[in-house]
């Protein structure tokens, strides 16, 4: 291999690494947005943060029906019957 091929491989590797990093960051952001909408808006549940933050009683922000969280396993079981 000559120097030009090596530099081309390095450039392709850097570009691919940048692309994969951006896709991974976008996917993580999308997961947080879905989590915030489903758990935060629909159910009113705020997942606990770091250990220094408030306890379990402070994770429910509003009086939404948090019992809906208990119905999630039934939803997944029903979805598995369809698939």
pTM of the model: 0.51
Residue-range definition of the domain harbouring residue 71: 3-82
> Which single residue is written with the structure tokens 């705020």?
46
How many CA atoms lie within 13 Å of 23's alpha carbon, on the beta-carbon side?
Answer: 6
pLDDT at 65: 67
Q: How many domains does the chain have?
A: 1
pLDDT at 76: 85
Q: Extract the tokens encoding 62.
A: 């509003």
pLDDT at 10: 94
pLDDT at 54: 57
Per-residue pLDDT of the chain (83 residues; tens, 9 = 90+): 788 899 999 999 999 999 999 999 999 999 888 888 887 777 777 666 555 555 555 555 556 666 777 788 888 888 888 87
Quote the distance between the C-alpha of residue 74 and its chain's center. Answer: 22
**Rounded CA separation 83/13 (Å):** 39
């Amino acid at each position: 291999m000559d120097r030009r091929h090596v530099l081309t491989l390095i450039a392709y590797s850097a570009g691919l690494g940048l692309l994969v990093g951006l896709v991974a960051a976008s996917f993580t952001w999308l997961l947080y947005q879905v989590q915030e909408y489903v758990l935060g808006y629909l159910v009113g549940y705020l997942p606990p943060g770091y250990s220094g933050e408030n306890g379990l009683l402070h994770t429910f922000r509003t009086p939404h029906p948090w019992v809906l969280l208990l119905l999630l396993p039934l939803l997944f079981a029903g979805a598995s019957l369809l698939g």
